Amino acid sequence: MADQTTPVPYTPPVDLLLVYGDPRKFREWPDYLSLGFTEADVPELIRMALDPALNWADSESLEVWAPIHAWRTLGQLRAQASIEPLLALFHMFEDDDGSDWVVDEMPRVYAMIGAAAIPALSAYLLDESHSEFPRMDALNSLEKIADAHPDFRSDMAATLIKTLERFETNGAWLNASLIDTLTELKTVEALSLIERAFASENVETFGFRDWEDVQVAFGLKEADPNRVRQDTPELFNEMAAMLDILTNNSSESDFDDDIDDFPALFSPVNKKAKAKTKAKRKQAEKSRKINRKKRK
């Protein structure tokens, strides 16, 4: 019997991803299929994407990036067998304040796989045993699929409505994200439910639409040209730009000093909120920690 503590080696061509290196060196995702990947490699690619030894490898190593290359390859293969296993990535890093890579890339992976991923993502979103931000990853992925496959928008809207019906027990961020997505999808039948959710005062509005914004978006009222909000998505764009400057150009001690100059702007809640600046306020969870190891 093999020693279970000994890592199982990866075979070609999957082993090539162990040395593929930092994905940030590529402007676009490489064509991983040109390396010779086929459907036969899917089980091993899934194992690599979820491999804790790789996901928690030294941040200066090459192999720490291998799981990212693996899930990208699964997306390019449109590997339906990976739909259920990859859901684990949504909560894998939760105790370490989440992973930006998962937030940013898994929706694209699922969109590549296509509508076949809708049932599993919907079940994850509806499952209240998962915490708020992983469920928002599932929501984000469903929205990405809706963008790529408009014919399935009504099916997904039904799941979103069912989830929002639990607005009293959902987290405020999840409720806000559900409302944003339902508004983007122009789900008229959800309006009454959305209004009740806002009335519960369990909807985050900082950086999201409030009830007036929703009404304007659905054409129920005219936008007030004199209305001024201090928590608009545009503000988050400015916040994100400042955060990027600070995190990319400051040491940890310098960052801590700089961030003290913006006590309201960079509160723990608002650090999560910076995710809302990316790609149509895409309702992604972000870490409360700004200084992370390079892997994240």
What average pLDDT is seen over the chain? 81
* Rounded CA separation 39/138 (Å): 25
* Rounded CA separation 231/234 (Å): 8
Q: Is the pLDDT of residue 285 over 80?
A: no
How far, CA to CA in Å, does 117 sit from each of 28, 108, 141, 152, 163? 23, 12, 9, 11, 18
* Rounded CA separation 209/45 (Å): 39
Residue 231 pLDDT: 59
Residue 259 pLDDT: 40
pLDDT of 104-159, one tens digit each? 999 999 999 999 999 999 999 999 999 998 999 999 999 999 999 899 898 899 99
pLDDT of 247-268, one tens digit each? 555 444 444 444 444 434 433 3
Diameter of the chain measured on Cα atoms: 74
Looking up tokens 């409720």 gives 175
- Residue 105 contacts residue 71 (beta carbons within 8 Å): yes
pTM, full prediction: 0.78
Q: Per-residue pLDDT averaged across 176-196, rounded?
A: 95
Residue 291 pLDDT: 26
* Rounded CA separation 147/144 (Å): 5
How far, CA to CA in Å, does 42 sit from each of 2, 37, 86? 23, 8, 12
Q: How confident is the model at residue 233 (pLDDT cuts 50, 70, 90)?
A: low
More confident residue, 272 or 110: 110
Looking up tokens 């939760």 gives 94
More confident residue, 6 or 172: 172
Angle, CA of 132, 133 and 139, to the nearest 5°: 95
Q: How many Cβ atoms from other residues are within 10 Å of residue 270's Cβ? A: 21
* Rounded CA separation 197/181 (Å): 14
CA nearest 134: which of 169, 80, 93?
A: 93
Q: How confident is the model at residue 232 (pLDDT cuts 50, 70, 90)?
A: low
Q: Is the pLDDT of residue 98 over 90?
A: no
Q: How confident is the model at residue 286 (pLDDT cuts 50, 70, 90)?
A: very low
C-alpha dihedral sign at 271, 273, 277, 278: positive
pLDDT of 37-86, one tens digit each? 999 999 999 999 999 999 999 989 999 999 999 999 999 999 999 999 99
Residue 238 pLDDT: 60
